[in-house]
Structure 1
Amino acid sequence: MIYQTTKSCLLIFVILICFSCKQKTSGVEVVEQKPNLLFIFADQYRQASLGFLKEDPVHTPNIDQLAEEGVFFSEAVANNPLCSPYRAMLITGRYSLSTGVVENCNSQRTEFGNYLKKDEICISDVLVNNGYSAGYVGKWHLDGPEPTPPDVKRVWDTWCPPDRRHGFSFWYAYGTHNRHNAPYYWSTNAKEDEKTYIKKWSAEHEADVIMDYLDNNENQRKAEEPFALFWSINPPHTPFTQVPERYKKRYEGLDYKDVLNRPNVQFTDNHELKRGDKGVEKRLNQAKDYFASVNGVDDQIGRVIQKLKEKGLYENTIIVFSADHGEMLGSQGLMHKNVWFKEAYRIPLIVHYPKKIKPKTEDLLISVPDYMPTLLGLMNLKTEIPDAVEGVDYSNLFFDKEVNRPKKQLYFGGKSFASKGDARGFRTKDYTYAVVKGEHNEKFHYLYHDAKDPCQMTNIWGENPELDKKMETELAELLNSMNDPW
C-alpha cells in the first residue's frame, strides 16, 4: 500500500515537472533560422529554353524541378537586355539610368561612368550587414577597365579589387571573357597578376568550386552564419561551340533547321549579314550547340542541388534561377540580345523555397530592379531595403497576399556613348512597343499585339492611329516618371 502511494506520488511529481518545463519553454521566444540564398543566373539563357515550357528542344530536368516546386514568374523580362546593365539592376535594385550602367562595361565606356559605383548599396552589402557570409562565383562584368581612346582596341576584362566587391568575402570571379573551355579566375586573395587558369568547362568547374564552398572545409565562409552565394554562369553565351561533346550527343544527326522550331526564325535574308562572320547565317548552324550548353548548365546546377541536399542545406536555402537576357537565335532575322523581341527580352525567373512558399506560376509583370527588394522581403529584411532602391518589394505574393500589380515593364536600349541611336519601349500583358532613334534622330516604331501574335510576326504600327497615339503617350509618361531625358 505504501509502495503504491509512493509510486503514485512520484508519477504526479514527474507530470508536474514536465508540465512546468513545458510552460517555461513555451514562454521562450524561438528565433527563426535565417534562410540561405543561392542566386544562379546563366548568361544569354532565354526563357524558351526552360524545358518544361516545351518550346526549345532542351533537356533541363533540374531546373524543371525547381519550377515545379517553386514559383515560376512567367512574365519576367530583362529591362535592359545586356550583361552589365542587368547585373547592375539586379545588385542595386535600381534602373540603368540611375546606376549609370546603360551598356556593357569596357574601356571605351569607363570615362562615361559605365560601371558599378563604390557608393552603391548592393544586396550583398545589405545581407552582410545583417549577418550573412556573401560569395560570388563566375562572371562579374561590372567594373570599368582603364579608359582607352576610340582608336585603340577596347579592353573588356578587368580585375575587381576587394574594396569594390560590395561585401563579397568569398570571391572566385573574372570581369568578362568567353573562354568556356579554358577559363581563368581571380580568387579571394589573388592580386591583379595572380590569375588561376583552369582546363575544364567553366560551368562544371564553377559547380566544383561551389560544392567546395558548401563543404566549407577550407573556411570559405563563416560556418555560424547563413550564406548568400551568387553564381554567374557564362554558358550558353557565345561561343556556342565551346561545350563538352557529351552534351552535343543529344543532337547528333539533326540539322540546325530541325532544332530552330520557332515560326519567326529567318534562315535567309537576315539583318546582320553585313557584319560578315558575325552574321546570322554564319551562326545559325551553331543552334544545336546553344541548346547543348543549356543542357550542360542544367546538369551542373543539378550537381550543386545534390550537394545542398547532402549537406542538409536544401530545405533552408532559397534557390533562384534567372538570366541576364535571352538569345534571338535567328528569330526576326537577328542574333543575340539588346532588342525588345521576346527571345532576347523574356528571361527565366524561378524562386524555390518550399519550406515557406507554395508552388505556382505567377504572371506578375516583374522587372529586374524588383528582384532585390522582393528577395529581401522574402528573407524577412523588409526594413533593410535601401531608400535608393527603385524596384518594388513583391514578396507578399509568395504568401497569396495582395500586391499593387504593375501594368508595364520598361524596355531600355542604351547606346549613349560608343554608338549613335538608342531605343525605349515597354511591354504590357497584351502589347510590346518600342521606338528606335536613328543616327539623325529619326524614329522607327515597332508595335506587336502579343496576345494575338505571340511570335511577334507582324508590326501593327500604323494600322490603328488611336492605338499608336495611346502607346506614344504612355511611353512618354513612363519615361517622364523616371526622369529619362530620351
Structure 2
Amino acid sequence: MKKRLTYISICSLCLLAMVPWSVAGQKKSKPNILYILVDQWRAQSTGYAGDENVQTPNLDRLASKSLNLTHAVSGMPVCSPHRASFLTGQYPLTHGVFMNDVLLDSNRTTIGKIFKAHGYQTAYLGKWHVDGHGRSSYIPKTRQQGFDYWKALECTHDYNKSAYYEGDSPQKKMWETYDAIAQTQDVCQYINKQQAGDDPFFLVLSIGSPHDPYQTAPEKYRKIYENKIFKLRDNVPADKVAKVQNDLRGYYAHMTAIDDCVGQLWQTLKDKGLDQNTLIVFTSDHGDLLGSHGAWNKQQPYDESVRVPFLIHYPKALGEKGKKSKVLINSPDIMPTLLGFTGIKIPSSVEGKDFSAILKGKKKNDVSYTLLSCVQPFGQWTRKRGGKEYRGVMTEKYTYVRDLNGPWLLFDREKDPFQMNNLVGKKELYQLESKLDKMLSHELKKRKDAFLPGLQYVKKWNYVIDSTETVPYVKINYQGLPIKDNSSGYPETK
C-alpha cells in the first residue's frame, strides 16, 4: 500500500513538471490589484504634489515608495466617460459613454470580465455610474461587468446616508457611517479573509468624495481646516476668493479622511503579508476647477480639471524607491497597462496603450501626446454656462485645443503653469500651433473622430436629453419607486 501511494505521488510530481505552469505557481506570480478610484480629486491637491494647504501624510508616504505618474490625464474629464474608458480600455466615441447617466453596454469586453476569466477574484465597492437606470436603482448581476464581490450603487453624493446593493440582491442596504470609511473597513475585511493559495484578487474601491458637496466629511476632519485661510492658485479671480476658501475647507477635509483610509488599506496589506505582491493604484476620475479660471467642477480642458493623481505601488516589480514619470497615461490606457503588469493578453477591442513595459524601464517611451475631448457639454458645464464641444492634445509641455470654430486654447504649461496666457493666434508661435494642430488632426483620424456637433452623437446613440442637453436621471423614493425628475440635478454654480 505504501509503495502504491509513493508511486502515485511520483507520477503526480512528474505530471506537474510537464505542465508549463501550475495553478499554484500562477497564484504566487500574479499580483493582487487594489485599485483606489476617488471622485473629482485634482492632481495638484496633495502634499506630495506641493499643496501646502492639505494634509495627506499617508499618500505622501505612499508616493515616496511608489511610481508617481505626474502627467496622468483624464481625457474626457467627467465621471461616467472616464469610468467606461477604465472598464473597456476604449475611447468614449467607441464605447458610447460620453455623457453621465447612460448605460455601458453589458456585452462589452471589460476589465472585470478579463481578470475573472484569468483566475482572479473580482470585487467592486462604491460608486459605479455606468448603468444608466437611475442613480439609486438596483444593478443586476448581468450588468455588473464581471465583478463577483459587489457592494455598489450607481451614484450618490450623500456620503453620510449612502446606500448600496450587495451581490445580486435587490434589497437596498446602507453603509453605517461616512461611506469612504465604511467601504474601507469592508475592503480590509476582504483582504484579511485571503488565505494562502487563494486566487489573486482584482478589487476596485470607488470612493465618491472629495466631489462636492464639500462640507460633509466627518467633523474630526472638518475641524482640521476650520477657519483656515489658504494660499490659492494664481488663476482664481478676486471675486471668487471667499467661495473658494470656504469650499476648500470641505474639499480638503474629504481628502484627509480618504488619506486615512488609504493608510488603513496599505497597513492591512502589510499586516497580511500581501504588500510586496499587490499592485496598489491611487487615482481619480477627473479633477476639480474649484474657482480656477472662475469655474467649478470639471469637463473643461484646464489642468485642474484634466490632470489627476496616479500612484502605482508595486514593490515586486517597481521596487520601493519613489520615482516620477511624465508618461501621458490617459483613461483608456489604464486597463491595458494593468493587464500588462499581470502578463494577461490584451483583447483586440482595447484602444488604449499598455504602458507597463515603459513604466518598468524595459521600453523607451514613444508617446509624445494624448487626446482631450468633450463630445457634448452637459450638467455642470451646459452651453448656458459656456460649455462647448472641443478636441485637444496635451504634451508634456503644451495644451492645445480646438472648438467647432477652430483653434481655441494654447498654453505653455511650463512657463505658464496656471494657464493664464492663451497663445492661440500668436504670429511668432505659428509653427508651434501648426505642429500641435497636425498632431490633433492625426489623432482624430486615428480615432475616426469627425468632430461633429455634440447633438449629432446624442442622436446616434439615442440618448434622451432635457432642455439643458443633459441626460436626466431617475430618482428613487424611500419605497424604491421612481420619482419623475426632469432636472439635471446640478445646482447653479455661483
Matched, 1:70 2:66: yes
1:452 paired residue number: 415
- Spell out the pairing of 1:56-455 with structure 2 (5 A cutoff): 56-105=52-101, 114-145=102-133, 155-191=134-170, 194-216=171-193, 224-254=198-228, 258-268=229-239, 284-358=245-319, 359=321, 360-381=323-344, 384-415=345-376, 421-437=388-404, 442-443=405-406, 445-455=408-418
2:3 paired residue number: none
Kindly state the Cα deviation for residue 436 of structure 1 after the two structures are TM-superposed.
Answer: 2.8
CA contact (8 A) 1:267 1:333 kept: no
One-letter identity of the residue aligned with 1:312:
G
CA contact (8 A) 2:32 2:277 kept: yes
* TM-score, scaled to structure 2: 0.80
Q: What is the alpha-carbon root mean square deviation over aligned residues? A: 2.4
CA contact (8 A) 1:62 1:302 kept: yes
Kindly state the Cα deviation for residue 282 of structure 1 after the two structures are TM-superposed.
Answer: 5.1
One-letter identity of the residue aligned with 1:309:
K
1:469 paired residue number: 434
Q: 400-409 or 32-41: which moved more?
A: 400-409
CA distance in 2: counterparts of 1:135 and 1:222, whole angstroms: 18
CA contact (8 A) 2:215 2:222 kept: no
What is the total number of aligned residue pairs between the two structures? 421
CA distance in 2: counterparts of 1:284 and 1:180, whole angstroms: 22
One-letter identity of the residue aligned with 1:371:
I
Please give the per-residue CA displacement for 1:107-144, whole angstroms capped at 9, x wherever unaligned: xxxxxxx4211111111111101101100000000011
CA distance in 2: counterparts of 1:468 and 1:157, whole angstroms: 46
CA distance in 1: counterparts of 2:238 and 2:269, whole angstroms: 43
Change beyond 3 A, Cα 1:417–1:291: closer
Structure number with larger C-alpha Rg: 1
CA contact (8 A) 2:407 2:424 kept: no
Change beyond 3 A, Cα 1:474–1:315: closer
One-letter identity of the residue aligned with 1:368:
S
Instruction: Report the 3-state secondary structure (helix = DSSP H, G, I; strand = E; otherwise coil) of the residue aligned with 2:292.
Output: coil
Matched, 1:36 2:36: no
Kindly state the Cα deviation for residue 478 of structure 1 after the two structures are TM-superposed.
Answer: 1.6
Change beyond 3 A, Cα 1:259–1:282: closer
One-letter identity of the residue aligned with 1:188:
G
One-letter identity of the residue aligned with 2:185:
D
- Spell out the pairing of 1:5-16 with structure 2 (5 A cutoff): none
Kindly state the Cα deviation for residue 98 of structure 1 after the two structures are TM-superposed.
Answer: 0.7
CA contact (8 A) 1:364 1:405 kept: no
Instruction: Report the 3-state secondary structure (helix = DSSP H, G, I; strand = E; otherwise coil) of the residue aligned with 1:48.
Output: coil
CA contact (8 A) 1:284 1:330 kept: no
Instruction: Report the 3-state secondary structure (helix = DSSP H, G, I; strand = E; otherwise coil) of the residue aligned with 1:234.
Output: strand
Among all aligned residue pairs of Structure 1 and Structure 2, give the percentage whose two residues are the same amino acid.
Answer: 35
Instruction: Report the 3-state secondary structure (helix = DSSP H, G, I; strand = E; otherwise coil) of the residue aligned with 1:332.
Output: helix
Kindly state the Cα deviation for residue 472 of structure 1 after the two structures are TM-superposed.
Answer: 2.9
One-letter identity of the residue aligned with 2:56:
T
2:474 paired residue number: none
Instruction: Report the 3-state secondary structure (helix = DSSP H, G, I; strand = E; otherwise coil) of the residue aligned with 1:447.
Output: strand
CA contact (8 A) 1:48 1:56 kept: no
Change beyond 3 A, Cα 1:444–1:472: closer
Kindly state the Cα deviation for residue 369 of structure 1 after the two structures are TM-superposed.
Answer: 1.2
Change beyond 3 A, Cα 1:411–1:398: closer
Q: 354-363 or 448-457: which moved more?
A: 354-363
Please give the per-residue CA displacement for 1:355-413, whole angstroms capped at 9, x wherever unaligned: 221342111111121111111111121xx211010111121123311234211111011
CA contact (8 A) 1:284 1:329 kept: no
One-letter identity of the residue aligned with 2:234:
P
Kindly state the Cα deviation for residue 163 of structure 1 after the two structures are TM-superposed.
Answer: 0.7
Instruction: Report the 3-state secondary structure (helix = DSSP H, G, I; strand = E; otherwise coil) of the residue aligned with 1:38.
Output: strand
